Amino acid sequence: MKKRQLLIGLIVLAALAALIFWGVRRSHFSFAVFGKQVAVADWRTIALATGCIYAGYVFRAVRWARLMRHNKKVPLFSLLSCQVIGFTAVALIGRVADLVRPYLVAKKTALPLSTQFAVYIVERLCDFGSLALIISFAIVLAPHGALPDPQIVRKAGYGGLAITVLAGLFLFAVRLAGGAVASFFERALGMASKKLGETAGQKIRSFRTGLDTIRSASDFGAAAALSLSMWALITLAYLETMRSFTASPVLVHMDLSGCILLLAVSGSVSVFQLPILGWFSQIAFVAAAIVTLFSATPEAATACAAMLLLVTFLSIAPTGLIWAHFERVSLRKITLESEHAGHDLAPANYQ
């Protein structure tokens, strides 16, 4: 199976390399200009952006400690290693390693994995809600002329804001009466497909279990404040990275609304992150967005997209590998263990 996966990966990688080569030849891409864009970039600004990303992991660790305090109180910064090693696994192995963080926390704190899986669910919901709010408000409140195709983008912003509010109301209903909401969707969707209804009911009950980590207004306020602060740091990292390309007039003068628009594109692409291969697809999609949305040159757009990936996603890897070495953690082994534990956990959660 591993040999087959490796062969498929190599074929896909070769196909992607051929596609990139064809695109470069067709667009008259200049590697000399690309190199100059990187060489004259403001590396102090890039270092500041990297610092923002590292600070974001501290916020993640504190948030996780706050969310699990009803099960066990731990020092606020004690889970930082789990966050750093976990995201290093995602960066190097792919989204299949997403469960490494709850698995490491469960081992570190001697708590059942189900409790940390619940925290993980709430953490993902907090991330989605915070990012959606920041993007929607930034688009809606953007100055006139600051966005490409403003009417379409503003409608998307209002739509995103409405969806965020509706999602919040839905989660509030699940928190108050999760069993009733799950049963309703099981019956309603079951008329079309019994399996679809059962799956929807299972997911809603899983969300309900996760939302037990937020038991008061202070819990919600702390989670919201930490999440918004963390995503503000990530947004600043994006903005500073884009502005570091001093040889590109479009990028060096990038405003906040344009940056957040690109953040939305990048976030959407990163959901389907694959190991190594996903790095190149991420760069390609983000570079295409920069060219399309802001009319940057292909060389500047590609350099910026590659630097964004390096700063916001891969920069944690060296620290994570060193930390994993000292804690005697094998990333590949812990990924397989967490994946198997997640499969074993899922049926038990829904009984």
Q: Which of 236, 328, 228, 249 is nearest to 296 (CA)?
A: 249
Q: What is the pLDDT along the chain (351 residues), one digit of tens a residue?
A: 445 545 555 565 565 555 555 555 555 678 888 889 999 999 999 999 999 999 999 999 999 999 998 888 999 999 999 999 999 999 888 878 889 999 999 999 998 888 888 888 888 888 888 888 887 777 776 666 656 655 655 666 566 667 767 777 777 777 777 778 888 888 888 887 878 888 777 777 766 766 677 778 888 899 999 999 999 999 999 999 999 999 999 999 998 888 888 888 887 776 655 566 678 778 888 998 898 888 899 899 999 999 999 999 999 999 999 999 999 999 999 999 888 877 766 544 444
Q: Which of 88, 130, 95 is nearest to 260 (CA)?
A: 130
The pLDDT assigned to 234 comes to 95
Cα(194)–Cα(196) distance, integer angstroms: 5
**254 burial class (0-12, 13-18, 19+ CB within 10 angstroms)?**
buried
> SS3 sequence, 243-268?
HCCCCCHHHHCCCHHHHHHHHHHHHH
Chain centre distance of CA 81? 18
Q: What's this model's pTM, rounded to 2 decimal places?
A: 0.81
Helices (H) and strands (E) in the chain, counts: 15, 0
